[in-house]
Amino acid sequence: MHLRCSDPECGTTLELHERELACPVCGELLEVVIGPLAVTPAELKRTWLARKTSYAPRDVSGVWRFREFLPDGYSEVVTMGEGNNPLVSGRKTADWAGLRNLTYKHLGWNPTACFKDLGMTVGVTEAVYVGAKSVGCASTGNTAASLAAYAARAGLSAKVYLPARQVSRNKLAQALDFGAEVVHIEGSFDAALNQLLADTNRELYFLNSINPFRLEGQKTVMFEMLEQLDWCAPDYVVVPGGNLGNSSAFGKALIELHAAGFIERLPRMIIVQAEGANPLARMWRSGRSVLEPVEHPETSATAIRIGKPRSWKKAMRALRYTDGFVMDVSDEEIAEAKAMIGRDGIGCEPASATTLAALRKLSWQGRIDRDAAVVAILTGHALKDTDFILKSQPHEAARAGARA
Q: Which residue of 83, 234, 242, 297 would you call a contact of ligand F0G, by CB under 6 A?
A: 242
- Per-residue x/- track, 287-306, ligand F0G (CB under 6 A): ----------------xx--
- Per-residue x/- track, 21-50, ligand F0G (CB under 6 A): ------------------------------
Closest separation between CB of residue 193 and ligand F0G, Å?
Answer: 9
Closest separation between CB of residue 227 and ligand F0G, Å?
Answer: 22
How far apart (Å, rounded) are the C-alpha atoms in residues 120 and 252? Answer: 17
Q: Which residue of 141, 163, 251, 279 would you call a contact of ligand F0G, by CB under 6 A?
A: 141
How far apart (Å, rounded) are the C-alpha atoms in residues 256 and 227? Answer: 15
Closest separation between CB of residue 244 and ligand F0G, Å?
Answer: 5
In whole angstroms, how far apart are CA 266 and each of 240, 256, 273? 19, 11, 22
| SS3 of residue 350 by DSSP | helix
Binding status of residue 244 toward ligand F0G by CB under 6 A: yes
Binding status of residue 241 toward ligand F0G by CB under 6 A: yes
Closest separation between CB of residue 209 and ligand F0G, Å?
Answer: 5
How far apart (Å, rounded) are the C-alpha atoms in residues 255 and 318? Answer: 8
Q: Which of 132/303 has CB closer to ligand F0G?
A: 303
How far apart (Å, rounded) are the C-alpha atoms in residues 13 and 23? Answer: 8
Burial 328-354 (b: 16+ CB within 10 A, else e): bbebebbbbbbebbbebebbbbbbbbb
In the region spanning residues 368 to 387, those forming contacts with ligand F0G, defined by CB under 6 A, are 379-380
Q: Which of 346/351 has CB closer to ligand F0G?
A: 351
Radius of gyration of the CA atoms of the chain, in A:
20
Closest separation between CB of residue 15 and ligand F0G, Å?
Answer: 26
Q: Outline where 104-177 has alpha helix (H).
A: 116-129, 142-154, 169-177
Among the candidate windows 35-43, 70-78, 138-146, 287-295, which touches ligand F0G by CB under 6 A? Answer: 138-146
How far apart (Å, rounded) are the C-alpha atoms in residues 388 and 368? Answer: 30
In the region spanning residues 90 to 129, those forming contacts with ligand F0G, defined by CB under 6 A, are 114
Could you tell me which of 299, 242, 239, 240 has the C-alpha nearest to residue 269? 239
Binding status of residue 168 toward ligand F0G by CB under 6 A: no
For residue 382, give every residue at least 6 positions away whose Cβ sits within 8 Å of its Cβ, in sequence order, or none: 108, 342, 347, 348, 349, 389
Q: Outline where 229-270 has alpha helix (H).
A: 245-259
How far apart (Å, rounded) are the C-alpha atoms in residues 254 and 242? Answer: 20
Binding status of residue 351 toward ligand F0G by CB under 6 A: yes
Residue 90 identity: G
Closest separation between CB of residue 91 and ligand F0G, Å?
Answer: 23
Among the candidate windows 27-35, 52-60, 134-142, 178-186, which touches ligand F0G by CB under 6 A? Answer: 134-142
Q: Which of 245/276 has CB closer to ligand F0G?
A: 245
Size of the site for ligand F0G (CB under 6 A): 22
- Is residue 3 within 8 A of residue 32, CB to CB? The reply is yes
Q: Which residue of 61, 139, 166, 278 would you call a contact of ligand F0G, by CB under 6 A?
A: 139
Q: Which residue of 234, 240, 251, 276 would you call a contact of ligand F0G, by CB under 6 A?
A: 240
Binding status of residue 243 toward ligand F0G by CB under 6 A: yes
Binding status of residue 209 toward ligand F0G by CB under 6 A: yes
- According to DSSP, the residues that pair with 271 across neighbouring strands are 239, 326
CA 366 remoteness from chain centre: 28
Q: Which of 83/240 has CB closer to ligand F0G?
A: 240
How far apart (Å, rounded) are the C-alpha atoms in residues 233 and 227? Answer: 9
Site residues (CB under 6 A) for ligand F0G? 114, 139-143, 209, 240-247, 303-304, 349, 351-352, 379-380
